[in-house]
């Protein structure tokens, strides 16, 4: 991802600093895997592990029939999560469990998720919300925004996929509203936002928290601006970021974009979670003319369409001293690991960040 | 292990039938007719077992295209193994051996069955070397093959000779090869030609059972979960996985004990790598001579090719770790019949009559 700090440093970069950065990446990459596994869930109160599953888009066809491909993704993630040893402290579901917000889809998702042997924290996505405006979700999963403390870390869950009341009210039916929010490149779409009411709640919630306490915010959409036509975007992102600014260690984890993205804006680290259903490309791969889309540094491998699960997956997250190390479990592909680099002040891909280590992307389509 | 490709000798020419790539030959075990002959004798010898009844050829019979025609291997005292005996024909092309790929070479593979408690059942390799030293014919054959005296014979020489013999068992020239690589457009029936098209498209076979531009080994040398046998372990999978991890940690070799347990055996590739994604994965076997090497799948649980096609048509046996390339195909009866005709066109002439 584009990284303001990285951009800044690039201009000033000399050979020596380049060598230093490469060495850090190389050292991290050679850590034996067993060591990584060992650190999962260690006894330290500030060092624990949780898992993240997101964007399953379970799609009801008719009767008891659902789209098989998407069912398989969620079931696989749940099974693999259950094998985690030591166990994760909890599993976050990052939103878009359903495709069109139907009760059948949410019930079906709950049924599959009930096989998890770990507690679940729920984050709502727009595909869960815009049919009944979150009513059934609230009944079954609980609040749409809330906070909790875990082993010295303050977790905040936001409902970041709200939008203008006028847009919500303009449709002939809930189904029409839902299907319009489900489209990309929709001229009749509307941008996501956290909204004033929830921002006020967030302000009150954060007032109780020490500025030194690590904060992890979990939202469905990225709490920064990538690409508006696809709603890779939260309209009041700057206002939310301002509320998080006083804290020393802030990480925002989000779903929605179905790919590996990471960014650092000021004190806030942003990391996207994988989808279990399908991959999206990075928007700039389509918009070839000059654009404002943040620069992507490490592209994902191109998915092999033969394998339905390629370019999908889930994440294991280690919290160590309030910073996240994100192990992307990438099916049919090599796993990737993002680690916050304390010296650089932003997250890097431990294996592929150095330009020479990257796998060249395909540039013709 | 570095591998060179047999190039100049008459043997090399003989070893490359139509449709096959060059046979990979390890640099430290070059082929020679003497070594192949020795390997064949060792392969047939039943003395290398606990009760003198089991040789390599017991489960890999030449008259059955180097299989045993049974669902799972039968060893000493009628003990049953957990997996189907694969054909040795064209095994030289696999990058790893056994259904779970736990052996990196044919040489390494050849050691396993001798000391497997339900196969040859020996405690260790000493009786093999002893028998060879006292034999009337072996000392001379080892001298010819390796230039060594009887007292110098070790297990390394034994498995090298067996592997050399196995590398001589390569077989192409099937109707498919003559059609595809020999320019003989009438070598396959119309049905088989239609079947090839289905194989490459709607039936999605080609992605794993590879056909390349100039040759075909019909494998991707990878491991896949089709769900066969998975229902056996699914209810207690967490306990089984724990058991394997513990056994591996304690340093127990897979061949000795672990894989004799039916349930652990069903974990497939996972028992080798301990990578979760490998649960229930088994190696893609070649399809050459498939019509004469049944029963099918890693556990020999499917009797006929018709039933195998049905399995793939329904999208394998559903399970959470099912391979992500496996999905329902919805083939028509005609397409299934054509596919079957194509699979039957993969039999080499030397095994055609030996069903």
A97 neighbors A56 (Cβ within 8 angstroms): yes
Domain boundary among B152, B167, B182: B167
Beta carbons of A79 and B322 less than 8 Å apart: no
Beta carbons of A68 and B328 less than 8 Å apart: yes
Residue B324 contacts A, CB cutoff 8 Å:
yes
Smallest Cβ–Cβ distance between A76 and the set B315, B321, B325 belongs to: B321
Phi, psi of B282 (to 5 degrees): -130, 160
Domain boundary among B139, B167, B195: B167
Q: Does B184 lie in the same domain as B163?
A: no
Beta carbons of B241 and A83 less than 8 Å apart: yes
* Cβ within 8 Å of residue A85, ≥6 positions away: none
pLDDT tens column, B200-243: 999 999 999 999 999 999 999 999 999 999 999 999 999 999 98
Q: Does B45 lie in the same domain as B139?
A: yes
Q: Which spans in A161-304 are helix H?
A: 165-169, 174-181, 196-207, 237-244
Q: How much is the pLDDT for B247?
A: 87
- Which chain B positions have a beta carbon within 8 Å of A310's beta carbon? 324
Pairs of residues, one from chain A and one from chain B, whose beta carbons lie less than 8 Å apart: 32
Residue B207 contacts A, CB cutoff 8 Å:
yes
Q: Does B256 lie in the same domain as B220?
A: yes
Q: Which domains does chain A have, with CATH numbers?
A: 4-355 (3.60.21.10)
Beta carbons of B324 and A83 less than 8 Å apart: no
Beta carbons of B320 and A78 less than 8 Å apart: yes
**DSSP state letters, A183-220:** -SS-TT----B--HHHHHHHHHHHHTS-TTS-EEEEES
- Which chain A positions have a beta carbon within 8 Å of B276's beta carbon? 80, 83
The number of distinct structural domains making up chain B is: 2
Q: What is the CATH number of the domain that holds B290?
A: 1.10.760.10
Q: Does B317 lie in the same domain as B240?
A: yes
Is the pLDDT at B254 greater than 80? The verdict is: no
Q: Does B126 lie in the same domain as B258?
A: no
**DSSP state letters, B110-149:** HHHHHH-TTTT--SSSHHHHHHHHH-SSHHHHHHHHH---
DSSP 8-state code for residue B74? B
**pLDDT average, residue stretch A77-88:** 94
B271 neighbors B82 (Cβ within 8 angstroms): no
Residue B259 contacts A, CB cutoff 8 Å:
no
pLDDT tens column, A1-19: 444 344 333 333 333 333 3
- C-alpha distance from B325 to closest chain A C-alpha (Å): 4
Q: Which residue has the higher pLDDT, A96 or A294?
A: A96
Q: Looking at this predicted complex, what is its ipTM?
A: 0.87
Smallest Cβ–Cβ distance between B325 and the set A68, A83, A307 belongs to: A307
pLDDT tens column, B126-175: 999 999 999 999 999 999 999 999 999 999 999 999 999 999 999 999 99
- C-alpha distance from A24 to closest chain B C-alpha (Å): 27
Beta carbons of A72 and B325 less than 8 Å apart: no
Q: What span, in angstroms and rounded, lies between the C-alpha atoms of A234 and A257?
A: 12
Residue A310 contacts B, CB cutoff 8 Å:
yes
Domain boundary among B134, B167, B200: B167
DSSP 8-state code for residue B352? T
Q: Which residue has the higher pLDDT, B121 or A40?
A: B121
Q: Does B230 lie in the same domain as B92?
A: no
Q: How much is the pLDDT for B248?
A: 86
Q: Does B187 lie in the same domain as B148?
A: no
Q: Does B274 lie in the same domain as B254?
A: yes
Is the pLDDT at B13 greater than 60? The verdict is: no
Is the pLDDT at A27 greater than 50? The verdict is: no
Is the pLDDT at A300 greater than 90? The verdict is: no
Q: How much is the pLDDT for B70?
A: 97
Q: Does B43 lie in the same domain as B140?
A: yes
Q: What span, in angstroms and rounded, lies between the C-alpha atoms of A105 and A67?
A: 10
Q: What span, in angstroms and rounded, lies between the C-alpha atoms of B102 and B267?
A: 13
Q: Does B271 lie in the same domain as B177?
A: yes
Residue B328 contacts A, CB cutoff 8 Å:
yes
Tell me the pLDDT band of A44, cut-offs 50, 70 and 90.
very low
Peptide bond into A98 cis (omega under 30): no
Q: Does B178 lie in the same domain as B160?
A: no
pLDDT tens column, A121-167: 999 999 999 999 999 999 999 999 999 999 999 999 999 999 999 99
Is the pLDDT at A364 greater than 70? The verdict is: no
Q: How much is the pLDDT for B257?
A: 66
Give the A window 39-78 contacts with B, CB below 8 Å: 68-69, 72, 75-76, 78
Q: How much is the pLDDT for A100?
A: 98
**pLDDT average, residue stretch A313-340:** 95
**Domain hosting residue B295, numbered range:** 173-355
Q: Does B177 lie in the same domain as B163?
A: no
């Amino acid at each position: 991802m584009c990284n303001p700090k990285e951009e800044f440093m690039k201009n000033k970069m000399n050979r020596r600093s380049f060598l230093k950065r490469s060495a850090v990446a190389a050292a991290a990459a050679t850590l034996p895997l067993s060591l990584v596994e060992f650190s999962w869930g260690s006894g330290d109160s500030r060092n624990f592990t949780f898992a993240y599953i997101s964007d399953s888009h379970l799609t009801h066809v008719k009767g008891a029939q659902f789209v098989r491909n998407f069912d398989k993704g969620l079931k696989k993630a749940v099974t693999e999560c259950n094998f985690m040893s030591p166990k994760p402290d909890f599993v976050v579901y990052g939103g878009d469990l359903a495709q069109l917000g139907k009760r059948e889809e949410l019930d079906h998702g709950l049924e599959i998720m009930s096989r998890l042997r770990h507690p679940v924290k729920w984050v709502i996505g727009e595909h869960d919300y815009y049919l009944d405006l979150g009513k059934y979700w609230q009944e079954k999963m609980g609040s749409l925004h809330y906070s909790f403390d875990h082993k010295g870390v303050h977790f905040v869950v936001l409902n970041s996929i709200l939008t203008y009341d006028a847009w919500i009210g303009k449709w002939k039916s809930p189904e029409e509203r839902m299907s319009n929010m489900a489209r990309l490149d929709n001229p009749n779409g509307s941008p996501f936002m956290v909204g004033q009411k929830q921002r006020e709640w967030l302000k009150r919630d954060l007032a109780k928290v020490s500025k030194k306490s690590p904060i992890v915010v979990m939202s469905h959409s990225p709490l920064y601006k990538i690409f508006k036509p696809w709603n890779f975007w939260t309209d009041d992102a700057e206002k939310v970021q301002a509320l998080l600014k006083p804290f020393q260690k802030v990480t925002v984890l989000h779903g929605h974009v179905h790919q590996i993205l990471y960014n650092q804006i000021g004190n806030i680290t942003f990391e996207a979670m994988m989808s279990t259903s399908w991959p999206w490309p990075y928007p700039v791969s389509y918009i070839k003319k000059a654009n404002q889309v943040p620069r992507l540094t490490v592209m994902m491998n191109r998915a092999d369409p033969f394998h339905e699960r390629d370019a999908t997956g889930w994440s294991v997250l280690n919290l160590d001293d309030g910073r996240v190390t994100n192990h992307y479990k990438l099916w049919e592909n090599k796993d990737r690991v993002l680690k916050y680099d304390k010296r650089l002040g932003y997250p890097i891909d431990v294996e592929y960040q150095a330009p020479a280590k990257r796998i060249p992307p395909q540039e013709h389509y | 292990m570095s591998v060179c490709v047999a190039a100049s000798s008459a043997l090399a020419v003989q070893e490359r039938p139509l449709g096959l790539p060059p046979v990979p030959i390890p640099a430290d075990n070059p082929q020679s007719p003497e070594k192949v002959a020795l390997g064949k004798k060792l392969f047939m010898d039943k003395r290398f077992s606990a009760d003198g009844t089991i040789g390599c050829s017991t489960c890999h019979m030449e008259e059955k295209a180097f299989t045993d025609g049974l669902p799972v291997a039968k060893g000493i005292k009628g003990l049953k193994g957990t997996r189907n005996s694969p054909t040795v024909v064209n095994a030289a092309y696999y990058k790893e051996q056994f259904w779970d790929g736990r052996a990196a070479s044919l040489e390494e593979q050849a050691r396993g069955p001798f000391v497997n408690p339900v196969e040859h059942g020996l405690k260790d390799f000493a009786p093999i070397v002893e028998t060879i030293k006292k034999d009337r014919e072996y000392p001379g054959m080892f001298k010819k093959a390796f230039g060594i005296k009887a007292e110098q014979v070790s297990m390394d020489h034994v498995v090298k000779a067996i592997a050399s013999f196995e590398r001589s068992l390569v077989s192409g020239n099937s109707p498919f090869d003559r059609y595809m690589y020999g320019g003989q457009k009438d070598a396959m029936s119309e049905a088989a030609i239609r079947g090839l098209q289905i194989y490459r498209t709607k039936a999605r076979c080609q992605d794993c059972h590879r056909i390349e531009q100039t040759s075909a080994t019909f494998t991707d040398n990878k491991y896949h979960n089709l769900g066969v046998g998975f229902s056996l372990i699914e209810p207690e999978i967490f306990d089984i996985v724990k058991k394997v991890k513990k056994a591996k940690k304690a340093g127990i070799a897979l061949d000795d004990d672990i894989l004799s347990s039916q349930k652990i055996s069903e974990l497939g590739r996972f028992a080798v790598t301990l990578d979760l994604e490998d649960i229930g994965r088994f190696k893609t076997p070649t399809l050459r001579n498939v019509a004469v090497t049944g029963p099918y799948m890693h556990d020999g649980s499917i009797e006929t090719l018709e039933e195998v096609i049905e399995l793939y048509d329904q999208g394998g046996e559903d399970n959470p770790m099912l391979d992500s390339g496996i999905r329902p195909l919805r083939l028509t009866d005609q397409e299934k019949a054509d596919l079957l005709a194509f699979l039957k066109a993969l039999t080499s002439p030397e095994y055609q009559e030996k069903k």
